[in-house]
Structure 1
């Protein structure tokens, strides 16, 4: 079988490509600009092109057909419309990576299934994903375009540690604050529930959907089965570092407002996603992919990530602006407390 990945070198897609390259019976192709060519496994073919240059891509795909095309970098409706033009009649399956953040916030129930309403008034990113899903499913209903929708939640790899609140350079500065014994901002009272998935576990479920006839015209969420509070997540990071966590709980609404002057979108990222307790019901995926399981609980995944990050300086991206912002928020709240 022949699979094409648009992108293919990101947090989620690289794990899939690596596993699929070792899976008998698959011929794996990537379509990207070749920016991470050194990370691509042996035997994987690359079509070097910018997917946004539709005519150039069409020319390079002229002699190709695929069993599955996987879109990892489509964020707006015009991008999936382009894919529909490029791949209709050229693939037996088109898998679109949407997002679990597209589910209604706050949801009517904390248990999330694929049937949960899609609506997120807080985050444009999520609304764009919903629009992409709507377009693709419309094309499936009208002309049989063979789409499968996949909705990941918070998926991570060895290059990054999941945290609730971070700056523009990722989570390293939060790790530094834990290592230095500084207070770490956690939204709300730290008790809201969250699900984290290591990318190799996600890949197992995804590969089971590739070429799977039961997946055509369907949506699947792929997440781990472990649910933790944000306090537990940060405590697990501190335990792995052998440091004492100093949690500082801050209202999500306050964080959303305090972040705006500094370009931090905590309205979308927190109110529209991370601060809402969710538990994912993965029974639909496991019916379609009986081999689906999660082998990397967070206390193991975080150690894998820390081992990698601490030995790779390029992953240690300092963010003094975010560090100063955290100190400023904490100082302002402590001052307000003293004046009550």
Structure 2
């Protein structure tokens, strides 16, 4: 199959491209062409900018794909542009949504796709716009004019990603553990979660491509290995041979102080991240999230070392200040309670 990936160089999409090649398919990557060095094998590229609709349509004129995987639509307008551009140019459109698009609190645990409502509040814009995208796509599915598949990853880590850690501090986590510095954890760290990794999630997209059983349906594609949030840091500490020191803040406190950094914790990750994969396993035989938390974090640590990732000094300072504030609070609370 000739499969177009809109994006193609992101955390999940680069794994999709590699897995398509491994399966004997022909991936075609559409993006600005600035990250070709990410691939060691030859790929077909179409260089352009999807935010420029007219030039995008011209680039795709005369093209034909067995499937189009859209990793860069974040709202209904983005998705509509993809649908209108490729309606007569492909046998299937696959959209990357997110489990963030669900309305909280959940109705089911583990979450089952067809028993949940979509987010209807714009308090967390990312989630709301993904939900609006899905509402638009459901209308297109009802029209029956083009086969559409929707895949909803949960929190996914992978090489190139900038989202690992409560402060999304990545390499800083290793640095702080090695230096004996405290790490900030939200809540009490015992919220259940299944941490997913990009190579596993990519298999869902590859398995859906050209698969008629997935037409008109939406699926989770997540790990089902049960952990709690503290485990994320505790396992990194185990892998590098140093026990981490954790300090815990309420999610509301963090979000109210710096919503641009912590809103995702308050609106999305204050609820258990457990998702049922029964539906995707039924329609994509052999799909399974195989990577354990330990294996996935080892992959991330190897990437940090290989690419010599720098410390984010601004976040490092913020975490220092949060830890100092926590220490003062604990001291004041102990004094108050002892009187």
Offset from partner CA, 1:208-264 (integer Å, 9 cap, x none):
11111011110011011212101111100111111111011111111112224xxx3
CA distance in 1, matches of 2:75, 2:174: 33
Partner in structure 2 of residue 23 of structure 1? 23
Offset from partner CA, 1:55-99 (integer Å, 9 cap, x none):
222222222111110111111222111112211111111011000
Counterpart of 1:287 (choices 282, 290, 294) is 282
**What residue ranges of structure 1 are gaps of 5+ in the alignment?**
none
Q: Shift of residue 295 of structure 1? A: 2.4
Partner in structure 1 of residue 328 of structure 2? 335
Q: Shift of residue 41 of structure 1? A: 5.0
Q: Shift of residue 143 of structure 1? A: 4.3
Q: Shift of residue 15 of structure 1? A: 0.4
Deviates further, 138-147 or 276-285: 138-147
Matches within 5 A, 1:195-234: 195-234=194-233
Q: Shift of residue 44 of structure 1? A: 2.0
Offset from partner CA, 1:127-158 (integer Å, 9 cap, x none):
00011111111112124232111100111113
Q: 1:38 aligns to what SS in structure 2?
A: helix
Q: Shift of residue 174 of structure 1? A: 2.4
CA distance in 1, matches of 2:162, 2:62: 41
| TM-score, scaled to structure 2 | 0.92
**Corresponding position: 1:312 with 2:307:** yes
Answer yes or no: is the 8 Å Cα contact 1:164–1:187 preserved in 2: no
CA distance in 2, matches of 1:276, 1:132: 22
**Alpha carbon RMSD of aligned pairs, Å?**
1.7
Q: Shift of residue 39 of structure 1? A: 2.2
Q: Shift of residue 281 of structure 1? A: 0.4
Partner in structure 2 of residue 136 of structure 1? 137
Partner in structure 1 of residue 154 of structure 2? 153
Answer yes or no: is the 8 Å Cα contact 1:18–1:41 preserved in 2: no
Answer yes or no: is the 8 Å Cα contact 2:7–2:30 preserved in 1: yes
Specify whether residues 100 and 81 from structure 1 end up closer, same or farther in structure 2 by C-alpha distance, changes over 3 A only: same
**Corresponding position: 1:266 with 2:262:** yes
Specify whether residues 107 and 120 from structure 1 end up closer, same or farther in structure 2 by C-alpha distance, changes over 3 A only: farther
Partner in structure 1 of residue 294 of structure 2? 299
Offset from partner CA, 1:296-340 (integer Å, 9 cap, x none):
101111112212211312x33x22222222222232233233333
Specify whether residues 161 and 307 from structure 1 end up closer, same or farther in structure 2 by C-alpha distance, changes over 3 A only: farther
Deviates further, 193-202 or 155-164: 155-164
How many residues end up aligned between the 2 structures? 331
Partner in structure 2 of residue 325 of structure 1? 318
CA distance in 1, matches of 2:242, 2:95: 40
